[in-house]
Amino acid sequence: MRSFEGAIDADLHPMVPGLDALRPHLEPFWADSIDQRGLEGFESQSYPPHAPRTVRADWRPQGRFPGLPEMQAWLDKTGAAIGILNPIYGVQLIFNADMNRAFTQGLNNWVRAEWLERDARLRASIVLPNETEHAVAEIERLAPDRRFVQAMRLVMGEIPHGRRTHWPIYAALEKHGLPLCLHAGSAYRHPVTSLGWVSWYMEDVAAQQQAFQSAVASLITEGVFVQFPGLRVVLAESGVSWLPAFLWRMSKGWKGVRFEIPWQAEPPAETVRRHIRLTAQPFDAPDEAAAQLLGHLGSQDLLLWASDFPHWNYDGLPSLPPGVDREKFLRGNAAALYNRFERVPA
Amino acid sequence: MNMMLANAKPAAATLGLCDVDIHPRAPSRDAFDPWLSAEMRHRMHSYGLRPRHGYVRGTPFPKSQPLASRRDAWTPQGGSPASDLGFFREQHLDHYGIDVGLLNPLQPSGQGDTNDGFSAAMAHAVNEWQLAEWVVPEPRLRASIVVPYEDPEASAREIRKRAGDPRFSQVLLMSRTSMPLGNPRYWPIYEAAQEAGLPVGIHAFGYSGWAMTNGGWPSFYIEEVSEHATSCQSLLISMVVEGVFERFPRLKIVLIECGMAWLPSVAWRLDKIYPSLRCEVPHLKRKPSEYIRDHVWVSTQPIEEPERPEHLRDTMEWIGWDKILYASDYPHWDFDDPRLSIPNWLPAETRAAIYGGNARAVYGW
């Protein structure tokens, strides 16, 4: 019996080896633009390609990014029954909205052709283009393929995730029963802190934790879950330990100034428990505090197991947080969230 | 929410109460004139403050109450909250039996102004004003050294000018600076503070000039308030990762009105990512959480409110009982009554430490 037999791995990263990989999946004009303009690739500062953290050393075959064979070997090793692909390739950084749409579509096409078609265990996020109308169109284009189980944006974008201009996207997701996944990373429209640019990559990694707090605050305060009661949001690579303290602060603020957001009729913590899930890699509390932290979360329903392959968060196999409900964590919570696992085209 | 409870003094007075967050307010902008040059007086009254946001009056996110203050804190004559020493003494110091109160002047202090020269002139004036109007007539009060932090060399000069004067208890910075506070450009401030043996108090507020979240500008005051926690997290991460505590091993940081329950989670997160990133930061010699444990204190208000009170106890335990300082935030609307905000189920000695013992230790009162 493998350690995670039958588990659902909620965060795997198919690594784009370079723009040439996307070329066959792009519209001809944009494929030509790679050479015409000398495009060098969209690797993002959120994951420097050569940083040890971006790809664990034993997952770099001959110093390259891992491909499908390495990911398949990893799935074989963990025993996961299903793995959800979150392609992280900095298409969100592209300023030209048409170019952003084109390369995002190309990325999604690449995932479908090179990954989903080649291993039945794999599912994927629809990477969303930046413009609202482009994002809605991409959801409509790919939602009929039930191997796409959610839609993904980077947690740090141009404007906060709750803002009304995004709402047609949420309407489309709710209609199709697709969760929104907010994944760590930035489109670098803003520095990664509210205090300006940082000196060290370590600060960039740490800043994800602040980004997720701000994203949840925005979704709650703008009333997204009031308007779209069927919408679920997955926070991927978010860490976990920040959530209770954030909710205590948010709920306290809500008691004092809820006149400002009258549509929010319940304490934010309750809305979060109903609508938001977190992938638990990295699980950022030490073992000796884990059981208390799980108590602070107030529910065993919130966490989804994820290996975060091939990012380097741990050596060997991931460990389970002490005190976690194993069945819910490895499979039950994800099975309850994603409604597309049992109806896969043959 | 802001009702005055009677007979406060006997219960609180036994606790040796220290309040590390009081906001004195000038009755008008003329108040600083005596300590400004003619040029700077002209600037103050012709152009006024020019912070890193666009409004001349008020704040980008309108507050929940006028001047963000308790409705009962206006003086009987209709003056602004905390603008009159007599009324302040009666409503706060005497009412709660506060032994020592630390002043943290907010705007119009000139901190974070886009004009460094004006900011430096105002810092000097505000420091003189604190002495003349508050600390000299009321010996229970201590002043903070307001510094023009966007000009660190001028800040260091202001600190050295006040060093050794026991009426000043800390160096005061705002949390939202134009660069993260660990950046080496700010190190002259820490060097001067360490040399003077003064803690650096960082109060949640100010305008960095950058979006208030790393994903853009929020819409609501409730977001602005909760985003203070994320800004403070970022500044602390910056101080740890840049190596401030390696370079200044005797530096003490007091986070004021920053919230506190997030502190363990930031320390854990840094510890968690450190092994995969230590090759980038060889200047760090210890685990990030150890720097935080040794160098950072927090104030209580606004204390987080879990659904179950024992969760707060877990969090305080993780932070360290010796690191938590009572603060009222007088006269602001989210003021914490000392008798109600510190959980009464804590052991008496723990409550006494939070009420005053810890502040006496860190500030040397």
Q: What is the pLDDT of residues A15-49, one digit of tens each?
A: 999 999 999 999 999 999 999 999 999 999 999 99
**Burial bucket for residue A284 (CB in 10 Å: 0-12, 13-18, 19+):** buried
Q: The complex's ipTM?
A: 0.95
CB contact under 8 A, B214 and A261: no
Which pair of structure tokens corresponds to residue B161? 């000018």
Are β-strands A276-279 and A233-236 bridged in parallel, bridged antiparallel, or unpaired? parallel
Distance between A36 CA and the closest CA of chain B, angstroms: 33
Give the span between the Cα atoms of B25 and B85, in whole angstroms. Answer: 10
Q: Which of B7-21, B31-45, B336-350 has the lowest mean pLDDT?
A: B7-21
Which pair of structure tokens corresponds to residue A17? 């080896």
Give the span between the Cα atoms of A138 and A112, in whole angstroms. Answer: 13
Cis peptide, bond prior to residue A66, ω within 30 of zero: no
Q: How many residues does chain B have?
A: 365
Q: Is the pLDDT of residue A343 over 90?
A: no
Give the span between the Cα atoms of A146 and A345, in whole angstroms. Answer: 7
Q: What is the pLDDT of residues B165-175, one digit of tens each?
A: 999 999 999 99
Q: Which residue of B has its CA nearest to A217?
A: B223
Residues 57-86 of B with CB under 8 A from A: 64
**Angle of CA points A13, A124, A82, to nearest 5°:** 85
Distance between B241 CA and the closest CA of chain A, angstroms: 7
CB contact under 8 A, A195 and B177: yes
Interface check for A259 against chain B (CB to CB < 8 A): the answer is yes
CB contact under 8 A, B179 and A197: yes
Distance between B360 CA and the closest CA of chain A, angstroms: 27
pLDDT for position B334: 87
* Of residues B216, B69, B165, B327, the one with CA closest to residue A215: B216
Helical ranges in B95-186 per DSSP H: 95-96, 116-130, 152-162
Q: What is the pLDDT of residues A131-151, one digit of tens each?
A: 999 999 999 999 999 999 999
pLDDT for position B4: 55
pTM of the model: 0.96
Strand boundaries in chain B, DSSP class E: 17-22, 98-103, 141-146, 168-174, 200-203, 253-256, 296-299, 324-325
Q: Can you state the percent helix, strand and coil of chain B, rounding each to 5?
A: 45, 10, 45
Model confidence at B3, pLDDT cuts 50, 70, 90, reads low
Q: Is A191 within 8 Å of A197 (Cβ atoms)?
A: yes
Give the span between the Cα atoms of B226 and B213, in whole angstroms. Answer: 11
Interface check for B311 against chain A (CB to CB < 8 A): the answer is yes
A86: left (phi > 0), else alpha (psi -120 to 50), else beta?
Answer: beta
pLDDT for position B155: 98
Q: How remote is the C-alpha of B189 from its chain's centroid?
A: 16
Give the span between the Cα atoms of A22 and A103, in whole angstroms. Answer: 8
pLDDT for position A345: 39
Which pair of structure tokens corresponds to residue A132? 């609202």
Considering only the beta carbons, identify the residue of A189, A194, A198 that sits closest to B208: A194
In chain A, residues with a C-beta closer than 8 Å to the C-beta of B274 are 202
Q: What is the pLDDT of residues B314-347, one digit of tens each?
A: 999 999 999 999 999 999 998 989 888 888 889 9
Q: Is the pLDDT of residue B43 over 90?
A: yes
In chain B, residues with a C-beta closer than 8 Å to the C-beta of A199 are 182-183, 238, 241-242
